[in-house]
Amino acid sequence: MGDSTPIKYKPYNRSSIKKAPQWERIPHDLREAVDVVSHVLPFRTNQYVLDELIDWERIPDDPIYRLNFPHQSMLDPDDFATLRDLLRSGDKQQLAKQIHVVRSRMNPHPAGQLTHNVPELDGEVVPGIQHKYAQTVLFFPSAGQTCHAYCTFCFRWPQFVGEEDLHFAARDAAGLAAYLKRHPEVTDVLITGGDPMIMRTANLERYLEPLLVPELDHIQNIRIGTKAVGYWPQRFVSDVDADDLLRLFERVVGAGKHLALMGHYNHPAELRPAIAQDALRRITATGAVVRMQSPVLRHINDDPAAWHELWTTGVKLGAIPYYMFVERDTGARSYFELPLAEAYDIFRTAYAGVSGLSRTVRGPSMSAFPGKVLIDGTPTIRGEKVFALQLLQARRGGLVRQPFYAKFDPAATWFDQLEPAFGESKFLFEEEPSAADSSVLGKPLDLVGA
């Protein structure tokens, strides 16, 4: 047990936040913005975040406040004004219509998620699964499709807004296990959401146990994406079933799997409370590994010093810096986005200041349609300034880590704004695939959408 007094999880939504002790500290115009924007983008926070992570002397600029509380500029100004006026008028029908219109414009499923990564088994779609890269299957358990608090930048926001055609999830692991038995090329399962750690331990166990059977020996690595390490570290320390959870981790590790908690840490403030540090120590003591990842976000962590503190504190506590992502092209993107050149400079400055043990981190990386595109530099080659790029993951596996180049564009914020350099008409993944491109270690890929 940690040294913190156990507290009970207390969430707040758009209505109940008005009862939170800190609500009165938010100026009137900011409160109205919370109300208007949270009709489009999901809003949820909890008492631990309010008490321990937000510095109320610094709102609205405090990074965790920005990370949790919707802000007027997260919507297009015209959309904001229209929604605000509809809310004031009380016309619920028009309001619902307008909310749907605004959401549809916010690219709810970037990178072909609903159309290109959805696998089939015997001609039927397997619910709650995405299979984009040969080795890795993503699994979305239905009981894990919420989070202890919501991030305002969330690229999975459609999972939380209750529009049926915008989300996907699986009720049990039977379809997943059946699919994996037919796919020996898969070595990694990423259980994600939302946050699977929102589930009680007994529930999580129902999803994990089927992966431990001998027929699935080819599943070497089980990853669990979680933000609980930042938003509710009590999950691993003082919740009633926290110890059961750690025993479950030990069983998974004991069954010969590598268990990795993919910890979403957006800011070093999330690692400062004693209980957050305690959570990390308890998780790693089970044999599980914690890897740290986050997008680089305007208003939140667009500062090399924040990344420096995050990576070095994480390493000291036993976590492994893994990814700096570029904010995805969805949701309130324009509020958070940074030019790619600036994201690269932040990464490089932070990276240059840490020891080799923190340099396990990769980035900045874009999860785009062809794969995970790494920005590897902005050199001048043969008189042309370019972005040096590589695919860290690729739909066509043979293209992984092959360097390619785009014209330098100081304003570009996402991959689709880039053009091939050196007068080329196509990027290498747009060329006709060769046999080598679509195979890994000589084995053909058998992927839907590959």
Residues of this chain that bind ligand SF4 (CB under 6 A) = 147, 150-151, 154, 156, 193-195, 227, 264
Q: Supply the minimum distance, in Å, between the C-beta of residue 331 and ligand SF4.
A: 9
Residue pair 160/194 in contact (Cβ under 8 Å)? The answer is yes
Q: Supply the minimum distance, in Å, between the C-beta of residue 63 and ligand SF4.
A: 14
Nearer to ligand SF4 by Cβ, of 328 and 395: the residue is 328
Strand partners, 170: 141
Q: Supply the minimum distance, in Å, between the C-beta of residue 264 and ligand SF4.
A: 5
Nearer to ligand SF4 by Cβ, of 149 and 418: the residue is 149
The Cα–Cα gap between 249 and 284 comes to 10
Residue pair 208/259 in contact (Cβ under 8 Å)? The answer is no
Sign of the dihedral through C-alpha 196, 199, 200, 204: negative
Q: What's the gap between Cα 244 and its chain centre?
A: 26
Nearer to ligand SF4 by Cβ, of 147 and 394: the residue is 147
Nearer to ligand SF4 by Cβ, of 142 and 439: the residue is 142
The DSSP bridge pattern shows strands 289-296 and 362-368 to be unpaired
The Cα–Cα gap between 203 and 416 comes to 40
Quote the tokens at residue 31. 């409160």
Q: Supply the minimum distance, in Å, between the C-beta of residue 363 and ligand SF4.
A: 16
Going by C-alpha positions, the residue among 405, 415, 413 that lies closest to residue 384 is: 405
Q: Supply the minimum distance, in Å, between the C-beta of residue 268 and ligand SF4.
A: 17
Nearer to ligand SF4 by Cβ, of 234 and 438: the residue is 234
Q: Supply the minimum distance, in Å, between the C-beta of residue 36 and ligand SF4.
A: 19
Quote the tokens at residue 248. 């479950």
Collapsed DSSP state (helix, strand, coil) of residue 426 = coil
The Cα–Cα gap between 307 and 312 comes to 8
Q: Please report where in the chains the tokens 């290109």 appear, as a residue.
A: 116
Nearer to ligand SF4 by Cβ, of 84 and 156: the residue is 156
